[in-house]
Structure 1
Amino acid sequence: MSRWFRVGALASVAFVLVVLGAALRPLVLPEAHTAASILNAVEIGFAQDMAAHHQQALIMVQRLDRGVDPTVLRLAQQLSDAQRIEIGTMLGWLRLADASPLSAHPMAWMHTDAATSQHHSNTSHANSDAMPGMATTAELDALAAARGHNAETLFLQLMFRHHQGGLAMARVADELLTSGPVKETARSMFQSQSQEAGVISVLLTQLGGQAPH
């Protein structure tokens, strides 16, 4: 009787070891297959560059004189809030993909035949590596120094051009991607920034300014 008990006990131990070994196998012996990438090169590049593009919009809002017309100030805050949320979304995607938040080669994701054609049709920048719509350091410094009506006009002009650049990037991303959340976000950005650019243009007209071409 004790012999059968010992056999049963050994069989139970063996079964436990087999189950335990199977459970621990992924920890001890890595699987041979390679996990599929969460984001492709276009999605990563778009997220990196658009996050950087949005960051400059936040800088513009920070440098805007607080004494400007309340309508302009309210619009600036709304733009800041919306772009902060989108920055968080894009940085979250990049963390999940184990990708850097900054691109080593800005705008490289747009360098396909279709993307390059679309890019040049929506921005006057001659350098294809330049991020469209971005303000120069001198322009940002001028905005920080401007006050009152001059600050309002300069902010709206810079933000309008900034939005035009963002629209060009979002349009190309939508065209290059076939499906997925990044494509959906690019399309949503295009729609929202088109509407915002329209509001900015109207405000500029009311303030006697002119939207940059």
Structure 2
Amino acid sequence: MPKPTRTHWAAITAVVLALLFAGAATVASAGGDAGHEGGHGGGTAAAPASGSADAGFARDMAVHHQQAVEMSFIVRDRTQDEEVRRLAYDIANTQANQRGMLLGWLDLWGLPKVESGSEPMGWMTSAKGHGGHGGEHEDGPGAHAGHEAGGASLMPGMATAAELEQLAKASGKQAEVLYLQLMTDHHKGGVTMAQGCADLCTVGTEKSLAQGMVDAQQSELALMADLLKKRGAAPRG
């Protein structure tokens, strides 16, 4: 991968600052929701359980978003096309902000950012079986692989290490097409995950964020399909 440019470092700095401000600005709001969404009258409800949809989504989507930020910074150095570079910056900035919110909520709830023994995406089935307040996940085959290996093999839409290496070596139109195809897959997986939280999470602020992700990423999917068409390509699959 080429040495980071001044533009690259400036973009990283902007994203890190945005992430920090976003996390600080939203944890109080999430904490207020956690105190009123649990349905326990006459007092402040407990924070979501570690195995709940709320916590599981926060952990998984933080990992998912981190890869989108990584891919977006890679392509910004591999093409001079302003449309793709603008899209990449928007995705990196937005998803870094959202990642800051998700990790901030986990801190507020006193929950670990990595839960040993839990399967990525397990919260979607666990929450359905426990009325939205899923308990601790049991250990099982591959239970540790998801988060401890970056979650790439188990979370929907994530690029493989080989695909990331391919993107880092591509340039020009080839890099643009590969990025748009990889990010299309990534967004489709992200929409599935976010819709799961919109349906299953109990913290109002997190549910709203998840629904916003669904709406925004579906809009970007349409944009990426148009950008691929302009380049004589199409989404994979």
- Give the TM-score range, shorter chain: 0.7 to 0.9
Work out which of the residue numbers 198, 206, 211 in structure 2 matches 1:174. Answer: 198
Match of 1:91?
A: 103
Task: Structure 1 unaligned segments of length 5 or more: list them.
Answer: 1-34, 116-126
Larger helix fraction of residues: 1
CA spacing shift, 1:96–1:114, aligned 2, 3 Å: closer
1:151-173 Cα shifts (integer Å, max 9, x gaps): 00000000000000000001111
Q: What displacement does 1:179 show?
A: 5.5
Q: Which amino acid aligns with 1:37?
A: A
Partner of 1:79: 91
Q: In structure 2, give the amino acid aligned to 1:166.
A: G
Q: Does 1:57 align with 2:71?
A: no
User: Deviation at 1:114?
Assistant: 5.7
Q: Is the 8 A contact 2:65 2:99 kept in 1?
A: yes
Which amino acid in the other structure matches residue 47 of structure 2?
I
The reply to whether residue 196 of structure 1 matches residue 220 of structure 2 is yes
SS of 1:111 mapped into structure 2: helix
8 Å contact 1:201–1:211 — kept in the other structure? yes
Secondary structure of the equivalent of 2:155? coil
Q: Within 5 Å, give how 1:120-135 maps onto structure 2.
A: 130-135=154-159
Q: Say if 2:48 is the partner of 1:39.
A: yes
Distance in 2 (CA, whole Å) between partners of 1:171 and 1:113 is: 13
Q: Deviations over 1:37-92 (max 9, x none)?
A: 32241100000000100000011012213433111011100110100110111111
TM-aligned CA deviation for residue 108 of structure 1: 1.4
State the AA in 2 paired with 1:95.
D
Q: CA RMSD in A?
A: 2.3
Kept in 2: contact 1:68–1:152 (CA 8 A): no
Whole-angstrom CA distance in 2 between matches of 1:77 and 1:103: 30
Distance apart, 1:102 and its partner CA: 2.4
The Cα of 1:113 is off from its aligned counterpart by 8.8
| Corresponding pairs, count | 169
Q: What one-letter code is carried by the residue in structure 2 that aligns with 1:38?
A: A
Q: TM-score, normalised by structure 2?
A: 0.66
- Structure 1 residue aligned with 2:113: 101
The TM-score, its normalising length taken from structure 1, stands at 0.73
Partner Cα separation in structure 2 for residue 187 and residue 85 of structure 1: 16
Deviation at 1:178, TM superposition (A): 5.0
Given that 2:73 and 2:92 are in contact with CA atoms closer than 8 Å, whether structure 1 keeps it comes out as no
Deviates more, 1:97-106 or 1:160-169: 97-106
1:143 to 2:152 alignment: no
Structure 1 Cα separation of the partners of residues 58 and 236 of structure 2: 26
Residue identity matched to 1:42: A
Distance 1:199 1:66, change over 3 A: same
| 2:79 equivalent to 1:67 | yes
Question: Could you tell me how far 1:111 is from its partner in structure 2?
Answer: 1.8
Bigger Rg over Cα? 1
CA shift at 1:112, angstroms?
4.2
Matched AA of 2:163: E
Question: What percent of counterpart residues are identical?
Answer: 40
